Amino acid sequence: MTKRGRFITLEGGEGVGKTTNLEYIRAFLQERGIDVITTREPGGVPVAEQLRALILGEKLVPEAELLLFFAARLHHLRELILPGLAQGKWVVSDRFTDASFAYQGGGRGVSWQRIRYLEDWLLAGTKPDLTLFLDAPVEIGLARVKARGESNRFEEETAAFMHNVRRAYRALWRQDPDRIKRIDASRPLPEVQLEISGYLKALVEAWRG
């Protein structure tokens, strides 16, 4: 029987370096002979990518925004993540449900209780095996986003919104430190990646048994 793969997510506020580190994680795992799928939220599969364009393009009522993120996530989970894991692949996603708790919960003020209800109902409790929370002061992230040029409507939110998102991520991490590893992403990239590699090594060793 094929051994189920592992599900890893990357989380954090704007400009913390998720994209660069996603590539690093993919290379790290592939070098160890692991079959890897990298993906992102919102998106990852055609329906969800269409929803992504809608969500990132339109200003939405917070609850509508939340529901669209979950609609995209449900397709992503059923069509890509779960089948990939069942085939023994490792799935690495740039964001997952923690982002809803942080952005729609912390940022927009939707209660966590309601988000948890959607998570339990729609995702049947699917949680990542490992979540790498890249954490950096809001000012650092915003400066990086600015330097990058193009931005989406979340990246154009106020600093107060970003502080609330960060606070929510830190609360999630404190609630579940076994799954969520907080990484200080204000440090130079090699230091960040050394820490990430430690968590990956442990997960690979445990998986190989």
User: Which residues sit at the interface with ligand TYD, rule CB under 6 A?
Assistant: 14, 19, 40-42, 69, 94-95, 99-100, 103-104, 152, 154-155
Residue whose pair of structure tokens reads 């894991």 in the numeric block = 85
CB nearer ligand TYD, residue 100 or residue 164: 100
CB nearer ligand TYD, residue 67 or residue 203: 67
CB nearer ligand TYD, residue 19 or residue 111: 19
CB nearer ligand TYD, residue 7 or residue 103: 103
Q: How far is the CB of 70 from ligand TYD (least distance, A)?
A: 8
Q: How far is the CB of 171 from ligand TYD (least distance, A)?
A: 16
CB nearer ligand TYD, residue 34 or residue 44: 44
> Could you give the strand order of the β-sheet that contains 180-184, starting from the edge strand earlier in sequence?
36-40, 90-94, 7-12, 130-135, 180-184
Q: How far is the CB of 19 from ligand TYD (least distance, A)?
A: 6
With the C-alpha atoms ordered 75, 79, 83, 84, is the resulting torsion angle positive or negative? negative
Q: Vertex 95, ends 193 and 8: CA angle to 5°?
A: 55
Q: How far is the CB of 69 from ligand TYD (least distance, A)?
A: 4
H-only helix segments in 58-148: 62-76, 82-86, 97-99, 112-123, 138-148
Q: What is the signed CA dihedral for 86, 87, 88, 91, rounded to 10 degrees?
A: -80
CA 111 to CA 108: how far, in whole Å?
A: 9
Q: How far is the CB of 151 from ligand TYD (least distance, A)?
A: 7
